[in-house]
């Protein structure tokens, strides 16, 4: 059985009379753009194969673009408020 999900099935509806309509729509559009242009699942599959075939494994592995992996380092180094401001600026929120 194939289940097809549509955006309206996943997200709360966009109520045009809501004072949050513009910000919410912008956030949804940004999220959908990132999902549509996301990384190739084969990259993660290759990493999993590498882990399985390795004689020494690590606790954590990172997969993604340089910026995605670097943001993990920034999150550990920066105060929460500064990190959140950087993210909000990056996503234009």
Parse the chain into domains and list their residue ranges.
20-90
Within 10 angstroms of residue 75's Cβ, the number of other Cβ atoms is 13
Instruction: Provide the whole-model pTM.
Output: 0.60
Residue 82 CA to residue 79 CA, distance in Å, equals 5
The pLDDT of residue 29 is: 86
Of 60, 26, 65, 25, nearest to 43 (Cα)? Answer: 65
Supply 48's token pair.
């999993």
Place of tokens 């997969």: 63
Using the predicted structure, report yes or no on whether residue 55 has a pLDDT greater than 60: yes
CA atoms within 13 A on the CB side of 27: 11
pLDDT: which is higher, 10 or 19: 19
Using the predicted structure, report yes or no on whether residue 7 has a pLDDT greater than 60: no
Using the predicted structure, report yes or no on whether residue 52 has a pLDDT greater than 80: yes
């Amino acid at each position: 059985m194939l289940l097809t999900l549509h955006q309206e099935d996943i997200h709360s509806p966009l109520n045009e009379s809501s004072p949050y309509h513009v910000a919410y729509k912008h956030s949804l559009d940004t999220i959908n753009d990132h999902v549509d242009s996301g990384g190739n699942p084969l990259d993660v599959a290759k990493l999993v194969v590498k882990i399985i075939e390795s004689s020494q494994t690590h606790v954590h592995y990172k997969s993604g673009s340089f910026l995605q992996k670097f943001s993990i380092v920034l999150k550990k180094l920066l105060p929460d408020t500064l990190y959140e401001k950087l993210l909000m600026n990056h996503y234009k929120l």
